[in-house]
Amino acid sequence: MERLRSIIKRVDLVGWIVPAVVVLVWLWLSVSGQIPAYKLPSPVALLRVLADFASGSLGVTPYSGALWENLGVSLLRVLAGFFMAGSLGMLMGFLTGRITVLRRLFDPVIHLLKAVPGIGWLPIAIVWFGVGEGNTLFLMSLAAFFPIYVNTAAGAAGIPETYIQAGQMLGAQGFRLFRSVIFPAAFPQTAVGLRLGLGVAWAYLVLGEVTGVTKGLGAIMSDARMLGHVDMVLAAMIVIAVAAKVTDFLLVVICRRIYPRGGMKNESGI
């Protein structure tokens, strides 16, 4: 009970004002008939669709009970793309952030590629990987790579030289210097990139899944759009938003384990 009370106390009620107003206006527009249901279903109808999507007990759409399988497929894709982007982005970020010659070699090219919008990679991704799994993973990992790389490189490059000198004076060299000085000092900025990268991976999941895969939340959104089920498109969007928020929360928990701050928050949110 005490734990529940502490959680309730941490909830910022101000953050619920705008969603509540949006739902009330949405409900009023639906009830008054100013927006037809085929364009925007009412909140009550959407809740029924979501309940049926999860439980399969109502049979109101062709996607009854299909939530958990498709959510699992999409979640695995996001985690795979995020892992690839995070591994390469952190590696390249720490290397270019600390080694000047590597920064001069790779940083201009990476920032040049970063300027290309994600949708611009879609045609070439289809040519390289075909329509399906490879195309989706490529788009997600590519899009998530850039914020992770940029923030990691900025964090590594911004470490005061006094930190490095102090570590060297205490005998830290090579990997030991990285583990004890460079990584902890740069990690808050790296965590910013990881959180941004995870959000981008969820966003680009839909772009990849609408191009030919048969399972996943994005595939359901594409199929529902063609069948005229606007309610299912909105339901899938809500599920993606909730799943992205949950995975972001878990990422923050992991980051706090790696880099405990004694409860003090910083720009990374950890």
Interatomic CA distance for residues 260 and 94, integer angstroms: 20
User: How far, in Å, are 9, 38, 108, 160, 176 from residue 101 at the CA level?
Assistant: 50, 58, 12, 19, 22
Q: Does residue 239 sit in the same domain as residue 147?
A: yes
Q: Is residue 269 part of a domain?
A: no
Total number of residues shown for the chain: 270
Q: Which of 93, 128, 100 is nearest to 114 (CA)?
A: 93
pLDDT at 170: 77
**Nearest one of 242, 205, 199, 197 to 221, comparing CA atoms:** 205
Q: What is the DSSP string of 99-116?
A: -HHHHHHHHHHHHHHHTS
pLDDT of residue 262: 40
Q: Is the pLDDT of residue 121 over 60?
A: yes
Q: Do residue 193 and residue 212 come from a single domain?
A: yes
Question: Looking at 64, 89, 111, which one is the last position of a domain?
Answer: 64
- Do 54 and 142 lie in one domain? The reply is no
Tell me phi and psi for residue 269, to 5 degrees: 85, 5
**Residue 71 falls inside a structural domain:** yes
Same domain flag for 52 and 98: no
Total domains present in the chain: 2
d(Cα 135, Cα 27) in Å, to the nearest integer?
39
In a domain, 266, yes or no: no
Would residue 270 count as lying in a domain?
no
Residue, of 92 and 208, whose pLDDT is higher: 92
Same domain membership, residue 151 and residue 242: yes
Give whole-number Cα distances, 32 to 21, 43, 153, 158, 190, in Å. Answer: 16, 13, 53, 56, 49
- Answer for the pair 52, 66: CB distance below 8 angstroms, yes or no: no
**39: Cβ contacts below 8 Å, ≥ 6 apart:** 230
For 264, the token pair is: 């003090």
Flag whether 241 is in a domain: yes
Residue 264 lies in a domain: no
In a domain, 136, yes or no: yes
**pTM of the predicted model, to two decimals?**
0.85
The pLDDT of residue 5: 63
Note the pLDDT tens digit of each residue in 152-206: 999 999 888 887 778 777 777 777 888 888 888 899 999 999 999 999 999 888 8
Q: d(Cα 45, Cα 34) in Å, to the nearest integer?
A: 16
Q: What are phi and psi of 195, to 5 degrees?
A: -65, -40
Judgement on whether residues 76 and 58 belong to the same structural domain of the protein:
no
Domain match, 213 and 85 both? yes
- 186 contact partners, CB below 8 Å, separation of at least 6: 94, 97, 152, 155, 156, 158, 159
Q: Can you give the CATH number for the domain in which 138 is found?
A: 1.10.3720.10
CB 219 within 8 A of CB 209: yes
pLDDT at 40: 82
The last residue of one of the domains, among 18, 38, 64, is 64
Same domain, 107 and 233: yes
Q: b/e string for 14-38 if b means 16 or more Cβ within 10 A?
A: eeeeeeeeeeeebeeebeeeeeeee
54 and 70 in one domain?
no
Residue 263 pLDDT more than 50? Answer: no
List the domain range (segments joined by +) for residue 22: 1-64
Examine the domain organization and report whether 15 and 123 are in the same domain. no
- Among 64, 86, 116, where does a domain finish? 64
Q: What digits encode the pLDDT tens for the residues 18-71?
A: 888 888 888 888 888 787 877 888 888 889 999 989 988 787 788 888 899 999
In-domain check, residue 265: no
Looking at the fold, whether 60 and 80 belong to one and the same domain comes out as: no
Please give the angle made by the CA atoms of 117, 120 and 125, to the nearest 5 degrees.
125
Segment holding 145, helix H or strand E: helix 133-157
139 and 41 in a common domain:
no
